C-alpha cells in the first residue's frame, strides 16, 4: 500500500497480487482510490487494474 500525491490529489494504491521474479517482484493486480488530501475521504469509485507481462 502506498499513498501518492498526483496533481493536488491523494491516491491510495493497494497491491493485491504480485509476480515474483529473480530480481524482485512486479505488481500484477492492484486497486487505486482518489482521496481528499486534507480529510482522506474517498472521492469517486475505487478502480481495479490488472497487468500482464
The pLDDT tens digits for 13-51 are 999 999 999 999 999 999 999 999 999 999 999 999 999
Domain residue extents for the chain: 2-50
Give the per-residue pLDDT at 17.
96
Rounded to 10 degrees, the C-alpha dihedral 41/10/53/23 comes to -110
Chain centroid to CA 2: 7
- Is the separation of the CB atoms in 25 and 51 below 8 Å? no
Residue 12 — very low, low, confident or very high, per pLDDT cuts 50/70/90? very high
Residue 10 — very low, low, confident or very high, per pLDDT cuts 50/70/90? very high
Q: Using only the alpha carbons of the chain, give its radius of gyration.
A: 13
Cα distance between residue 28 and residue 34, in whole Å: 20
Amino acid at each position: 500500500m502506498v499513498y501518492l500525491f498526483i496533481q493536488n490529489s491523494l491516491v491510495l494504491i493497494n497491491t493485491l497480487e504480485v509476480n515474483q521474479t529473480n530480481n524482485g517482484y512486479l505488481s500484477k493486480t492492484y486497486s487505486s482510490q482518489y482521496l481528499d488530501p486534507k480529510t482522506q475521504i474517498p472521492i469517486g469509485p475505487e478502480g481495479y487494474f490488472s497487468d500482464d507481462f
